[in-house]
Structure 1
Amino acid sequence: MSLPRVVGELLEQLTPKLGHPKFNLLLKQVSQELSDSDRFLLKMELSRLAKPCLRPIDLRDKSPEPCQLVSIAKVNHYLPSSAAEQLKALIQSYQGVYNFAAYESIMRQFKLKPQTVFESKAQQTEVEQTLALPIIFGRRITRRDERMHYVTDLGFHTRAGAFKAKTRDISASGLQIKLPKTAILETNGLIEVNFLEFAKQYQRDFAFKLTYKVCWQRQEKGENFAGLAVDNEKQNPALIEFLTKFVKGYRRKYRLDACNTLDAARNKLFEQFYFYGSQALPMLLNVQGMQVEVNYLCAQKANQAIRQYWLNEQRHSQLSEVLTAERLLQATDNVGQVKTLYLYSFTHDQNQQHHFFTSTPEELAEAKMTDLFYHFGATKPSWRVFKLQFAELEHAKAWNPVAIPEEAGREIQKRNRPLSTTLQNKLFESNYYALLIDVTNELAKPSYHARPFDKSLLNQLNQFHVKREIDNPAQEVEFSLLGQRKEPRYNYRTVVEVDTGQQFISGLTKNISANGLQIEFEESAKLDAGQVIYLDFPELQLTTCDYKLTHLPYIVVATNKAKTVFNFKAKPGKHQGRKFFTKLSQRKEALNQGNDKRIIGLEDALHNLFIYSTSQCCAYISQVDDDSQCFLACAPVATRLNALIDRCRELNSQLIELALLDKFASFYPADEQTDFAEMVIAVNANKIEFLGWLSEMTSESDRKNALTDWLKDKVIWVLRVDVAIACPADFRHIELENSYLSTYQPAAQKMLEKLAKGVRLTLQVTDISQEVCLRYNKPLEQFKSLIEKQNNIVFDVLN
């Protein structure tokens, strides 16, 4: 796992002192200025290095000196005499413990990569099963206490009699137990558990008995298991304290169960792939009576086009006037938690003003203007078809704790603090979540344009003119992918003078962060990676007397192919630029969140709400070791599309994944290129069938004829798939989970890292069955009948 530079430097300083009696005091002194996340990473990595190691070292193929079999710290190694003496000295310095710090020190010296392997086949199977679970956006299985795999004998009583059982894992607040096949427990019932083996092994002045509530019971590979939670922690506090100390004391000897952390880390990584790849626009709305306000827009690079579409000539968003209460009410009769409506739009410029014309299918049908609006609108380059999905906001989902037991450190307790009252009150100013998806298909324009129309009625289109929005502009909250960066970057343009030692070059900053910046030059510059240059900021110097912004040392990190855009990082050490840009970044962050109205934690809260509430599904094309795979992920909200995917899983069908893999496994788009395709499948209660890709047919008439034939005797779904290059795996987003896994399940952490790095495409999946029926002028009753049949097949899953 890659660590931040400052953490790596402190590790080099602290690791040799791991066995020192005053080590904890030294750690506290040197880590005072670290951020919470960096302090947690440092402690977790030191904890891992201090862990006793049983791995042998074999240098027979690496050392030029002859190697002999030697036993050191009860482990057999093949080492040359010099390495053996060095290992003994290391072990002595670590208070006689052969730990991972000593092991890795020898391995590094001989340039051997430490092996990360599973401790058992059962552990590997458990990790593989966890990574094979469906990806559910927003899912975090949190635990208050650390859970350790440990087997000990138990006894308990039910109405059927006395039974013996064995623990599978234990924690201070619960157990997983293996039951006799004849034992049946009542869910939510209470049972008294006797820790038989503990009572024999440990002599204490308290009883080894606790009352537990039965949470679940299930069969796994023919074995009978149950999950138990302590019913009342005050019933036997001495035993609970004993269990707490037992797990802490033996967690290095016996493996901690970190699969919930692994599942959360995987889900968070794939959420980021979706979040920064989706071209849809998430919004928070405040709907009061017949008034609708758009309070927040989620702004990021991938949805820039859809945001800019709705700006008038004064750069004011018109969405609050487009998303009227009357339109939202049209969709309230839709089945399911998430409501849907379609919006058709085009623009017209007149008298230096940018005018919008929008309508829903229902409005057009009522005004008998469908043909005219479609025909005239489709002639415009600005013609768009949007799908709006919205639902009541679940404010509680704004808080999403880290899936690491709080026992792991105070940093976890701090990160898991509830939302502030100020932030909660601010979020309660919005009561709906909405997602606006552009589903325009340029190939379908001829079908819209082919509608008959009466040119003399064109003036009647003015009834669909959008009232100009002037007041109450929506606040755009900008999100940028951290990836491997330590802090976010902000767009900022200012003049910079570069002194290379041989020439002076003028440029403009493109973005800034506390520790680095990106500069654009008019012509290519001769700068090499690793080169130290000096920067002056003449415009910024005029704004401050507190900082000297001249001759600041920076290191060249990277450049584009044309060598006109360069990334720089501040040279380590005292640096006036780092201090100034930290302050400037804070001001930019405040601007991003409303200047003096900024609320701490707003961005994270909105991110959590967007991820949990999205009505889209996302697929991923991954390539690991020449093996291509497709994963499907969705949020837990009740949508028709999620119900369809659940139905596929019930039928053990991977038809959707296989069709996507066949279509896109060999698709390698250019940088920032996007594409889409339209897939048609047929579904009934017992079978799912792939029918074809509309986008692969040669003409609109072919597409219309195929749709007509399929609708005669099949319940079809049309799914739009927007494809884009996946963003880099955002490991900074899971740094706490990553560090915890690298300590207690390093092989699982490596497997997750390999899985995430293999993701190369994101595929946003949207159900457009209704829009395709409207596009090809299917009768209203026909597509209403189709929607009803779809609901009958899949919605029992939601119920």
Structure 2
Amino acid sequence: MPNLQLSPLIDQLKLVALDDDFEKHFNLLTSTLDGPSKFKVRAEVRRLTRACPRTVDLRKRVDGDCRRIEHRGRVHYLDEVARDIFERGLRDYNGVFTQDTYERIMQAENNYRVMYEQQKAAQAESAEDDTFDDESAFELFKLGFYPYRDEERMNYTVEVYIELEGASSCRAITNNISQGGLKIRVDRSQMQLQVGQQANIYFTGFAKEFTIDPQLPIRYEIARISEENQRTYISLKRADGDLNKDFDAFINRFISGYKRRYRVNTDNTEIALLNKAHEQFYLPRMRRLTLYLQRHSKELSCKYVLTTYNNESTLAHWYNETNELAIGPIFNKRRSQYMIKKLERNESCELTLLTFNIVAKGKVYFYSALVEELKKIELWDTFASFAVQKSSFQAFRLSLSPVNHKQAWRPQAVPQHINLPSREQPFTESVQHALSEIDYVATLDDVTDLIKPFCGLSYNKDELAKLRAFVHPPSPPHRSQAIKLEFVNLRSEQRYHLRSRCRVRSGSFSRDGLVLDISEHGLRIQVDEPIPGSNRSEMQVSFTQLLQHHKNEPLTDVQYQIVNVDKSRTAFNLKLSEQPASRAAAQFLTRFIQQREQRLPKIYENNSLKGFELGLRNLYCDAASAVPLFFYQTKTNEDFLGRIGVPPVISDWSRLLQMPNSLLPKATLPTLLNTSGLLDKWKSWLMSADKSERPMNQLLLFQLGWDDQNKRTVSVLAFDVETVTLDDIEHHVIQALLNDTIIAVNIELSRTGRPDRQFIEAEMQYLSAYAQYKVDRVERQLDSVLGVADSFSVTPLLTQSLELSESLQAVAAKRLEQWLSATN
């Protein structure tokens, strides 16, 4: 084979090799070559243009359907891509099936062998890719952002000409192409560009290779203009009413046939995969209560409360004597109107709520008051001092946001026409109707420990009677329902379907039953008749049916502990006891599952995220004001804060995190948080913490100011919320506000579990089909996540609770806005 420098010359000559004037063309085009090079070119042209005696059968060798084609007595089986190459070859070589045509068919991009080699090469290229970007900067992502494309977009470079209305045309190069769109690179200085402008595109490059008319204009509209790497890119979409069935069919065939070679642009899928997976780390660790409210006239009613593993203890305070959730009345008519009006004025609705309850004569009486209400009628001291002495005392940062119903359903970041077994279906009408009734999302962040130092210990007993104005009605006017946010694959073990008879014993009761599913250390059973049993109590299980085939195994009276039981007392979730006597049974069950893993059907149970709960989850992501922070530990034991989720609701804290490093002082925020003793303390706690442990709670106080050169300065102090005193906070805040300003942030640090892989399975499958190296890169990053911190601003809460003068609060707010918004 000649060297690659001669390939363009060979490509030119082979198309005229069968013409009568071939020698003329050959002598003209090879006039600058030496004798050996001319010989090589002539030999290669002759080899490529001679008739090929082979029969081509691509069945089971390509990614496409093959049809029978007969040519000069030979029967070929070709897919659509190969047929296109075959027919073009016959036209180019006067009806002869040449060696060149054969090699092009066998090297087509959808050939399985070619696909394998390309993917292997791509993985090799990416093996050295860093999992993370520069650790001196945070990687920001928007909560709930899963960029979706309805069409596959293929990376492909080809020459086109763009012609704007009333302007001359100019040459451009495509960056990627889809059925209904195009992205091109152009010299912007050649023409005036505007979004919405109509443009004619001439596919001159395609015309050189395919049967496309180079004078055929395809109508597009400019959708976006961007500058990247000092180049101008234009994103275009097909103009409305531009119908050209022949061109549409060509583009469809072209992308289907060539996408394996030139690769589909999967950047949006990788982004969605990373975002969704990180949210799966974060959402189950939230301590906040998320409430979904419906507006009735001028009053808000709480319909649903989203519960997680970390907020169950907080929510437990809100159940009354009849086990009903009684949190709704905190939104009484007066408060509802007050909060709704703040939102209508485009003001931030961020308030502080104090609550407690009293049990009397078998009934639970709930009290709640906003700090604004108490200070207006001068009852802050009495209410706060009385409430803080109750074991039921809780304080919350309350935030309210309107709902955008369009954000409840978010399709997976895989084009709809791609057939995947894990495809999520749009919500049913009943789910859509239930979600449409939600008008607002409220979040209650537990700031009890932060508020306690501001509450006095003495109060005027004569004023206690006034607190009756803050008691909730005895029966909630609207019932609230707790909705569990579950991610099934947070389980430590895979579960499998297994139907096998058993006999169970709990105390003095014995019952026959049926094993429903099994894992190495877990079991779910259904007994024939109810049997007493409560969480954490012991239950002995004898695997009577398995014993028939495994008589010598320790399968009698295996010790389990009840994890969950249904109301009928007939269905139990069990986990294997940690007693030494259970180890032999655990070893057998592990072997049993491993030997039959291919035959035992796996259990996938994310039904809770298939409908209504998924909609609630998405609505929260669209209305959140908290900022999740993700901590990583690399294989070289480097720890750092690397990724941050940016919420839709803007706060001073989220604005600070999004400031460009160029506007920050030398000790940039990433450097400040990643190299200070603060990170060492967080790392030490994460390394020793268990996933089920209560989050570590800290208060960060950022002091923001200006130096002598009028450059920004920033420093940070950290306080343990459980031990901080009023004097500590007050001293540092007052000192900071003498000349500077502050941002106060509450941090709740948790050790992470594992993300629910089933929830991101569709994106994983699609991405692996085109770019396995990207899947590997994502998995490396996910495996490195060590912890997640839920963080939110408490600046207004702090300045309000310190009872600073209104003038000082106004000055601090003005300085803060100047610091955050200055452009240099």
TM-score by shorter chain over 0.5: yes
Residues 116/484 of structure 1: CA separation in 2 closer, same or farther (3 Å cut): farther
The 1-side partners of 2:512 and 2:579 are apart by 18
1:732 to 739, 745, 758: 758
Which residue of the partner structure matches residue 57 of structure 1?
Answer: none
Unpaired runs of at least 5, structure 2: 1-57, 66-101, 496-500, 526-535
Residue equivalent to 1:423 = 431
Deviation at 1:518, TM superposition (A): 5.2
The letter of the residue matching 2:523 is L
Which of 619, 627, 633 pairs up with 2:638? 627
| Aligned ranges 1:529-548 → 2 under 5 Å | none
| Alpha-carbon offset, residue 246 of structure 1 | 0.7
Q: Which residue of 1 aligns with 2:175?
A: 168
State the shift of 1:408 in Å: 2.5
- Asked if the contact 1:156–1:163 (Cα under 8 Å) also holds between the matched residues in 2, the reply is yes
Counterpart of 1:712 in 2: which secondary structure? coil
2:677 is the counterpart of 1:636: no
**Counterpart selection for 1:221 from 229, 232, 244:** 229
Paired residues for 1:557-706 under 5 Å: 601-625=611-635, 626-630=637-641, 631-647=643-659, 651=663, 653-655=668-670, 657-658=673-674, 661-668=679-686, 669-673=689-693, 674-683=695-704, 687=712, 689-695=714-720, 699-706=725-732
Does residue 362 of structure 1 match 2:383? no
2:155 counterpart of 1:149:
yes
How does the TM-score come out when normalised to structure 1? 0.72
559-568 or 475-484, larger mean C-alpha shift: 559-568
Paired residue for 1:406, among 387, 397, 416?
416
CA contact (8 A) 2:350 2:400 kept: yes
Superposition deviation, residue 233 in structure 1: 6.3
Tell me what 1:31 maps to. none
Say yes or no: does 1:382 pair with 2:385: no
Alpha carbons 2:504, 2:539 under 8 Å: kept: no
Task: Give 1:505 shift.
Answer: 12
One-letter identity of the residue aligned with 1:409: N
Q: CA deviation at 1:397?
A: 0.5
1:648–1:654 Cα contact (<8 Å) kept: no
Contact 1:386/1:437 (<8 A) preserved: yes
| Contact 2:420–2:762 (CA under 8 A) maintained in structure 1 | no
Write the letter of the residue equivalent to 1:474.
S
CA separation of 1:161/1:435 partners in 2, compared to 1, >3 Å: closer, same or farther?
same
**C-alpha separation in 2, matches of 1:181 and 1:622:** 42
Separation (CA, whole Å) in 2 of partners of 1:252 and 1:103: 9
The aligned runs of 1:458-607 (5 Å cut-off) are 458-470=464-476, 472-483=478-489, 497=503, 517=523, 522=538, 601-607=611-617
Q: CA 1:308 to 1:650, structure 2 compared with 1: closer, same or farther past 3 Å?
A: farther
CA displacement at 1:700 relative to structure 2? 3.0
Q: 1:507/1:167 Cα in 2 relative to 1: closer, same or farther (>3 Å)? A: farther
1:85-100 alignment to 2 at 5 Å? 98=113
Structure label with greater radius of gyration:
2
1:13-412 to 2 correspondence within 5 Å? 98=113, 117=123, 119=125, 134-158=140-164, 161-180=168-187, 182-184=189-191, 185-204=193-212, 208-232=216-240, 234-331=242-339, 332-333=341-342, 336=346, 338-409=348-419
Where structure 1 has 5 or more consecutive residues not aligned to the other structure, the ranges are 1-17, 26-72, 75-90, 105-113, 490-494, 594-599
Going from structure 1 to structure 2, the CA distance change for 1:97 and 1:173 (only over 3 Å counts) comes to closer
CA contact (8 A) 1:275 1:611 kept: no
Distance change >3 Å, CA 351–CA 780, structure 1 → 2:
farther
Deviation at 1:221, TM superposition (A): 2.1
Counterpart-to-counterpart distance in 1, 2:263 and 2:282: 33
Cα 1:118/1:259, change in 2 over 3 Å: farther
2:696 and 2:189 map into 1 onto residues whose CA distance is: 57
Distance 1:218-1:699 versus aligned 2 partners, 3 A rule: same
Counterpart residue type for residue 303 of structure 1: N
Question: Residue 751 of structure 1 corresponds to which residue in structure 2?
Answer: 777
Moved more, 713-722 or 160-169: 160-169
Alpha-carbon distance, 1:769 to partner: 1.2
The Cα shift of 1:352 comes to: 2.6
- Return the offset for 1:393: 1.0
Contact in 1 for aligned 2:291/2:306 (Cα 8 Å): yes
Aligned-residue offset at 1:487: 12
C-alpha distance in structure 2 between counterparts of 1:562 and 1:774, whole Å: 56
Tell me, in whole angstroms, the C-alpha distance in 1 between the residues paired with 2:669 and 2:801.
Answer: 29
Deviations 1:471-498 (A, max 9, x none): 5321222221222669999xxxxx9736
Alignment partner of 1:708 out of 731, 734, 753: 734
Question: Aligned to 2:373, what secondary structure does the other structure show?
Answer: helix
C-alpha distance in 1, partners of 2:355/2:372? 14
CA distance in 2, matches of 1:224, 1:138: 29
Distance in 2 between residues matched to 1:136 and 1:718, nearest whole Å:
22
Change in CA separation of 1:789 and 1:328 when aligned onto 2, cut-off 3 Å: farther
| Contact persistence 2:504–2:512 (CA under 8 A) | no
Q: Match for residue 748 of structure 2?
A: 722
**Residues 730, 228 of structure 1: CA spacing in aligned structure 2 closer, same or farther, 3 A cutoff?**
same
User: Which residue is 1:79 aligned to?
Assistant: none
Query: Which residue type is aligned with residue 627 of structure 1?
Result: E
Q: C-alpha displacement at 1:507, in angstroms?
A: 11
Distance 1:354 1:508, change over 3 A: farther
> Identity over the aligned pairs, expressed in percent?
19
Matched position secondary structure for 1:172 = coil
- Aligned residue number for residue 10 of structure 2: none
The more displaced of 238-247 and 469-478 is 469-478
Secondary structure of the structure 2 residue equivalent to 1:298: strand
* TM-superposed deviation, 1:453: 3.0
Q: Which amino acid counterpart does residue 454 of structure 1 have in structure 2? A: N
Q: CA deviation at 1:269?
A: 0.6
CA distance in 1, matches of 2:554, 2:176: 54
TM-score, normalised relative to structure 2: 0.70
SS at structure 1 position matched to 2:189: coil
Whether the aligned pair in 2 keeps the contact of 1:522 and 1:564 (CA below 8 Å) is no
Distance 1:764 1:22, change over 3 A: closer
Structure 1 pair 301–23 and aligned structure 2 pair: CA distance change class (3 A): same
Once the 2 structures are TM-superposed, how far is the Cα of residue 790 of structure 1 from its aligned partner? 3.9
Conserved in 2, the CA contact under 8 Å of 1:487 and 1:513?
Answer: no
Distance in 2 of aligned mates of 1:486 and 1:237? 53
SS in 2 for 1:249: helix
Contact 1:262-1:748 within 8 A present in 2 as well: yes
Measure the CA separation in 2 of the matches of 1:557 and 1:319: 33
Aligned partners of 1:136 and 1:633 also within 8 Å:
yes
- 1:512–1:787 Cα change, 3 Å: farther
Does the CA contact (< 8 Å) of 1:770 and 1:783 recur in 2?
no
